[in-house]
Chains A and B, each alone.
Chain A
Amino acid sequence: MDLPPAEASGSPSAAQPQPPVGSPSSLLRQWLELLASMRFAISLLTIVAIASIIGTVLKQGEPPSNYLNQFGPFWFPAFDALGLYSVYSASWFLAILAFLVASISVCVWRNSPGMLREIRRWRSDLRERAMDNFGMRADFPAPELAAAAVSTPQQRCAEASNYLAQHGFSSRVTPVEASPGTFMLAARAGMLRRVGYVLAHSAMVLIFLGGLADSEVMLKLRLATGQSVPVKGSVTLDQVPPEARIAASNWSYRGNMLVPEGRSSGVAIVNAGDGILIQDLPFSISLKRFQIEHYSTGQPRLFASDVLVTDKDSGQSFEARIEVNKPLIHRGIAVYQSSFDDGGTLLKLSPLNLMGGMRRLNALEGRVGEVMKLDVGDDSWKLELVGFRPFNIENVGEADSADAASIATDTGSMGRLRQGFGSAAPSAAKKDLRNVGPSFQYKLRDAAGQALEYNNYMLPLQLDGRWFLASGVRESPSEPFRFLRLPLDENATLEQYLALRGVMLDSASQREVARRFALGSEGVSGNSTLQSRLEDSALRVMETFSVRGYQAVAAFLENAVPEAERERAAEVYVRILQGVSWEAWMLARERAGLPRLESTPLRGRFVQDALNALSDSFFYGVPLYLQLSSYDEVKASVFQLTRSPGKPVVYGGCLLLVLGIFAMFFIRERRLWLLVRADGSGKLAFASNRRTLDIETEFAAHRAALGALLMSAAASQPGQ
């Protein structure tokens, strides 16, 4: 199939040994023929390529529920049966790969012996007539008598050998038995190319076998043979049944391990479908410290874990540092820094009642990951502490700098072009990244099991020059958080907001607030009828607002006011709301023994913010705001642990593959025959594994040089 002279020149050459026709193993032989056929191999290469695409389009190895959501109950089982959720360990995909490997193996097995034998062969027995069949050949006429007398054919051959040796050929000269006095020089170069063929193709087989040993197939076998049965749901380590535990002697696995700071773990979790298996390790890892560093832009710069590794049998331990790109390899198991998590940060919370009478509730304390019972009045919730982030880097400058940019920098295409020049450092003005401090996440689950998810910032955020405490709420992880912004007063506390709210929503105080509002309104003082009508209106607005905030007011307007007047009425209502809020705030201050305040624009905005917050708090789900008063952070590191026995095999295969490919492509195998007759005439034939233009040029050069050598009278200086 790949014998160079046969392919390159069409010369009759040694044919493949044919197995006897009609042998008893003819079926096997047909199979071998199929496997060895190039058409089959190329088809397989193409099929593997196309099949591989599936797994890149469809995300692999997700939890089954995700696929169920994506494809629905009809297609989900069908795709599952086809193994599309883990294509690369599906039996049909492995079968195609197996065919490919079988095909390669058969080719190597059939061709290698011939290939390697060919390296050692000189092929001095090439017949003169056969040389005429070569594509690259030449005839040299006998030189003039004088020149022929100078040296014998043997000497000429020796000179040719010298010339060829300078060009990388090794050669051998033998007398031609059939015609005495004639000598055949057989030369060869670049025979290592054939070794390349054997190396590259056996390498593919090695890589596949090594890869198979490290693949998920091993886990699937374990599950299919019932060696292990995954455990589902959340269980603690000591609840795990023995059939879901794998002994440390397992030779191929990949698992994860989460270790909080100050704790240790000696098992890895192996995901198996929608359940897990517990892989025992020969050592335990205790995390002393997890370190995370950031660039000024907020992108992570370093993840590193300082760990103490203790062998279970010997009890010996040593310290190590594991970073991304710097794994720890111990007892054949590689430990990688994979990600990080919260390891149970202690959160101290002070809950705040947003609606009812009592403002502050008893302080709470809990760790991330814990679930606590929370009673507020008659209601009871489950508080699930979900996560904690020690800092949040937010782009707070965007809104401001958009205006600034339009003034300060060039606009238009010329301006943009000018910005394109210069250094590639990011322009500083564009982003104003700021650390806005810690935040924590929790869920509140009601008796019916419905949960709302919250994200609260510990520190106040500045928005448009005013300060707020912000808390985000959402119903499902797919939604963005909607933020409740509680305005801070001039002393940077929530006190004034809470005082305002207390009066505003207190039905007992609302009449008094409305009275004061009507009394203080310009243009009505002195007119008691007008005053009492305004008082009634104000009271009605407050009562409506106390039900569902702006939404209730809007609904009221829609019912009670004709459409044409609605807009104007809404404006009036908003002004009334602002007015009564102010009076409510002042009444609250009076009751607390504080002086009445001058009205300023800033205070006006505070009242407006308070109204917004009050209205939003109706849609906050739970009338409870959890303020983070302090925390004690505990980080956790997530490691990936792998034991891959096939790795050295695969790496060795890769090395062979590279060597083989380079040998095959960049070593040109050439053979050259030079027949010199007694009269000094000669015949030249040249062959290569590939007939490229370079080869033809090389042949032309050798032909000229060897021709000159045979013709020359004083042939003592061969070459150019």
Chain B
Amino acid sequence: MQSTPQHSLFNPQSGMQALRRQPRDWAFAALVGLGVLAALAGYAAEYDAYDAGVLIGAAIGLVALAWQWRSLQVLTLSVAAISLSAIALYQGELARAEQLLALKYLISSQSAILWMSVLFLLATMAYWAAVLARSVFAARSATRMTWAAVALGLSGLLVRWHESYLMGADIGHIPVSNLYEVFVLFCMITALCHLYYEQRYRSGSNSSITTAATETAAADVGADVAADVGAGVGAFVLLVITAAVGFILWYTFERGAHEIQPLVPALQSWWMKIHVPANFIGYGTFSFAAMIGFAWLIKHEAETRSTLALRALWGAALVLALALAVEAFAFRRGGTASVFWPAYFALFIALLAGIVLVRRRVAAQLPDKSVLDDLMYKSIAVGFAFFTIATILGALWAAEAWGTYWQWDPKETWALIVWLNYAAWLHLRLVKGLRGAVLAWWAMVGLLVTTFAFLGVNMFLSGLHSYGTL
């Protein structure tokens, strides 16, 4: 039986030692439970049964996830600490954001999100430094900065939620109501998806899986390989996050889109709290899969050294540039300061071309093709499941708000197109047993379709989802 050294980098999910609860798990669950109780008791008037249900469901989901992936416990506590400090500093007065330095430049929502952007950009550079200079230190720093960015971004969203209530009790709402807010959410989810898989490599190589140790002693090549494996993937995934961060910055400074706006009646519903995040789990994991697809093609070219593989790679770079161009196109409509978008677009073209040129060096730092293939499948499977839920939730909500669960609105239709696209991908892979370049390519075309569905539709097509206009 052929075996690759990466096998033991994965924890077997069922059985083994995974699910034994530790005291810290119970302590975490108790803390989350306390938080929920405090929220329900302290703001009883704000919750109807549905809102309370969503809150409790979210808490259960968080605990379940954080039991499986303990780093989430640290993240949750950090985010809670940051956002509670911000809330404490506000003392119920919005004006204090201008008076207190800690709020103004650190943990008010806008500042936190700006720091998140900075950290993501730095992390991207660090990941690439790790790949190109083969530096373990850079890889470790990149991971830490990504974690910090996620913590700040999530805190920023939570503080923003608080700020919206400070603007007026009737204005307050969860910050997933417009394009700006969901872009921040997109960065969070994509980054978390990457961090999860990155950590699974490391924990696999560090902790000894006694059962698997006998045969695959090759895996003991060491922790630094594992770090590099993570860095290789990180360098690609952070690219798509960087693109999103670029958009967020432009949207903030050019359009002032960061300003909190009250909700129109159609959006005033608890459905929003579950529909939008579920959707963005889909978008985030699909984007992740597309970047893995690109990495796969690089690895493939390095292994086969065939002209066909190289052509496929250049083609893929073009598809990726196109997907990002949909975004860049938004900047074109900015009017006055329009240097930003061509510069941005050119930067990404240059970046992608540069990656293709140094492909061999990059490929050496990437995990095995079978690992990439597996990652691509897993993220698309998760994304597809959540995207299905999100679309169904959207239909249920539409039935309540617009009177029909499905009316072929452009946004709905594009959601269906995305869904069909990945349904086809999964059938190819699961039933036809197809692997390789076609699927990697298809995942990248998927990014193009996905980007259009969540950005292009808002830009070019009119319809009922018009609150995300640019």
Binding site for B on A (CB under 8 A): 1-2, 7, 38, 41-42, 45-46, 48-49, 52-53, 55-57, 59-60, 87-88, 135-137, 166-168, 211, 214, 254, 295-297, 299-303, 323-327, 334, 336, 338, 416-417, 420-427, 640-642, 644, 647, 650-651, 654, 657-658, 661-662, 665-666, 668, 690, 692-694, 696-698, 700-701, 704-705, 720
* In the complex, the 6 A-B pairs of residues with the closest C-beta atoms, listed nearest first: A423-B97, A336-B403, A324-B265, A426-B259, A167-B15, A701-B211
CA distance A651 to B8 in the complex (A): 42
Sample of 26 A–B contacts (CB below 8 Å): A45-B420, A46-B421, A46-B424, A52-B408, A52-B413, A55-B408, A56-B461, A59-B462, A87-B408, A296-B168, A299-B264, A323-B265, A327-B403, A420-B114, A420-B252, A423-B108, A423-B109, A425-B163, A644-B404, A661-B388, A692-B378, A694-B374, A698-B12, A700-B212, A705-B211, A720-B16
Q: Would B413 and A55 count as touching, CB distance under 8 A?
A: yes
Residues from chain B with Cβ under 8 Å of A693 in the complex: 6-7, 10, 370-371, 374
- Chain A residues near B377 (CB, 8 Å)? 692
B446 to chain A, nearest CB (A): 11
In the complex, what's the smallest C-beta–C-beta distance from A69 to chain B, in angstroms?
17
Evaluate contact between A38 and B400: CB separation under 8 angstroms: no
The listed residue (B8, B111, B170, B399) touching A301 by CB distance below 8 A is B170
Q: A166: which B residues are within 8 A, CB to CB? A: 15
Specify which chain A residues have a CB less than 8 angstroms from the CB of B6 in the assembled complex. Answer: 693
Please indicate the chain A residues that have their CB under 8 angstroms from the CB of B8 in the complex: 697, 700
- Residues of the A chain whose Cβ atoms lie less than 8 Å from the Cβ of B388: 657-658, 661
**Separation in Å of the B269 CB from the closest CB of chain A?**
5
Separation of A336 and B94 alpha carbons in the complex (Å): 37
The answer to the question of B216 belonging to the interface, with a C-beta cut-off of 8 Å to chain A, is yes
Residue of B nearest to A7 (CB): B433
Q: Are A338 and B212 in contact, CB atoms less than 8 angstroms apart? A: no
A45 and B15 within 8 A (CB)? no
A422 to B97, CA, bound (A): 5
Contact of B392 with A by CB under 8 A: yes
Interface: B262 (CB within 8 A): yes
With a CB–CB cut-off of 8 A, which chain A residues contact B111? 421-422
A424-B408 contact, Cβ under 8 Å, with A665-B384, A696-B7: no
Of all chain A residues, the one with the shortest Cβ separation from B8 is A697
What is the CA–CA distance of A701 and B421 in the complex, to the nearest angstrom? Answer: 36
Q: Say whether B431 contacts A2, CB under 8 Å.
A: yes
Chain B, interface size: which category?
35 or more
Assembly CA distance A135 to B262 (angstroms): 59
Interface of B, secondary structure class, is helix
Beyond A45-B420, A334-B403, A701-B16, 5 extra complex contacts between A and B, CB < 8 Å: A55-B413, A300-B264, A325-B400, A704-B211, A720-B210
A135 to B392, CA, bound (A): 39
> Which of A211, A424, A661, A668 touches B406 (beta carbons < 8 Å)?
A211
Residues of B close to A254: CB separation below 8 A? 403-404
Does A421 contact B408, Cβ atoms closer than 8 Å?
no
Residue of A nearest to B16 (CB): A701
- Which of B1, B110, B389, B402 is within 8 Å of A422, CB to CB? B110
Smallest CB–CB gap between A42 and chain B, Å?
Answer: 5
B175 to chain A, nearest CB (A): 8
Q: Provided the pairs A53-B417, A421-B111, A654-B395 are in contact, do residues A694 and B10 lie with their beta carbons within 8 angstroms?
A: yes
Contacting residue for A657 out of B103, B265, B392, CB 8 A: B392
**Are B163 and A665 in contact (CB-based, < 8 A)?**
no
Asked whether, in the complex, the Cβ of B1 is within 8 Å of the Cβ of A135, the reply is yes
Give the chain B neighbours of A417 by CB distance below 8 A: 253
Contact of A424 among B110, B262, B382 (CB under 8 A): B110
Beta-carbon nearest neighbor of B268 in chain A: A325
Q: Which residues of chain A have C-beta atoms less than 8 A from B384's C-beta?
A: 661, 665
CA distance A446 to B424 in the complex (A): 61
In the bound complex, CA of A302 to CA of B170 (Å)? 11
Bound CA span A698–B428, Å: 25
A683 to nearest B CB, angstroms? 14
| Interface status of B427 (Cβ within 8 A of chain A) | yes
- Residue contact A697 to B103, C-beta cutoff 8 Å: no
Given contacts A168-B15, A325-B268, contact A421 B212 (CB under 8 A): no
Of all chain A residues, the one with the shortest Cβ separation from B90 is A423
User: From residue B217, how far is it (CB to closest CB) to chain A in Å?
Assistant: 12
**Alpha-carbon separation in the docked complex, A90 to B85 (Å):** 58
Which residues of the partner chain A approach B457 to less than 8 Å between Cβ atoms? 56
